[in-house]
């Protein structure tokens, strides 16, 4: 039986010490299967960004356990020696702002991650172009970033996150700047890519336009998670 793509048990994160200490996460539990797109919602200050940063190995939790694909990466301390390689090879990130490199064309913006992973430049660009075609922006492969619409930039950012085919993608408010039609298109693309590549995707959002698209939702309040089933009406 396949392992969950993401498994989190009793994860805590404390900032500060003594009377100034703040518990941002207070025992988070979460499971996400391969090929699943899960929503993570909650009010500002509830711990959403902290959880994503812990899972993305950007900050270190205080206690608890995290496993990716059955491999424990954190158990009251990191269990992997190269966190940079972990982020590069196994976790894709998509943010509210695309953070594309303005002096590179679209192809090189996507190809930069496989290049950093040691893929030869020609092969990396070929892989980037294939991903751009899959996301219906192949015709913009040679365009410069300022020539792209907001929706096109977000698709390029998704292509960059997917190009190394990581088992996990963490998306933080990626549809916030988009109108309803483009936001739902982006979520449909994520669902298609999740099914195609078996990628597990967590989408942090306040965007009411896309919340009904999730089949499963984790609410986070006061540093704890609560699961509910979604309706997936618009997926």
Asked if residue 72 has pLDDT above 50, the reply is yes
Question: How much is the pLDDT for 8?
Answer: 97
Return the structure tokens found at 109: 């913006």
Tell me the three state secondary structure of residue 184.
helix
Task: Determine the Cα–Cα distance for residues 34 and 32; give it in Å rounded to an integer.
Answer: 7
* pTM of the shown model: 0.85
Asked if residue 235 has pLDDT above 80, the reply is no
For 77-131, the DSSP string reads SB--S-HHHHHHHHEEEEESS----TTSBHHHHHHHHHHHTT--HHHHHHHHHHH
Closest CA to 159 of 120, 233, 105: 105
Per-residue pLDDT reduced to its tens digit, 147-191: 998 888 988 998 998 888 889 999 988 887 778 887 888 888 889
Closest CA to 57 of 40, 72, 46, 70: 72
- Residue corresponding to tokens 């200490």: 21
Asked if residue 233 has pLDDT above 90, the reply is no
């Amino acid at each position: 039986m396949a392992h969950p793509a993401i498994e989190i048990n009793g994860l805590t994160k404390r900032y500060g010490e003594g009377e100034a200490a703040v518990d941002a996460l207070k025992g988070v539990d979460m499971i996400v299967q391969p090929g699943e797109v899960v929503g993570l919602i909650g009010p500002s200050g509830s711990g959403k960004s902290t959880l994503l940063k812990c899972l993305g190995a950007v900050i270190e939790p205080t206690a608890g356990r995290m496993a990716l694909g059955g491999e424990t990466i954190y158990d009251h301390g990191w269990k992997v020696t190269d966190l940079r390689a972990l982020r590069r090879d196994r976790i894709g990130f998509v943010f509210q702002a695309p953070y594309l490199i303005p002096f590179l064309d679209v192809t090189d913006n996507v190809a930069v991650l496989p290049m950093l992973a040691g893929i030869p430049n020609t092969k990396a660009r070929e892989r980037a172009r294939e991903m751009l075609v899959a996301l219906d922006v192949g015709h913009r492969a040679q365009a410069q970033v300022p020539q792209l619409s907001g929706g096109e930039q977000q698709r390029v950012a998704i292509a960059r996150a997917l190009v190394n085919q990581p088992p996990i993608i963490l998306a933080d408010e990626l549809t916030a700047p988009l109108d309803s039609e483009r936001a739902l298109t982006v979520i449909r693309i994520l669902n298609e890519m999740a099914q195609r590549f078996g990628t597990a995707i967590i989408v942090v959002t306040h965007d009411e336009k896309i919340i009904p698209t999730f089949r499963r939702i984790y609410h986070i309040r006061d540093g704890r998670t609560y699961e509910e089933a979604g309706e997936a009406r618009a997926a």
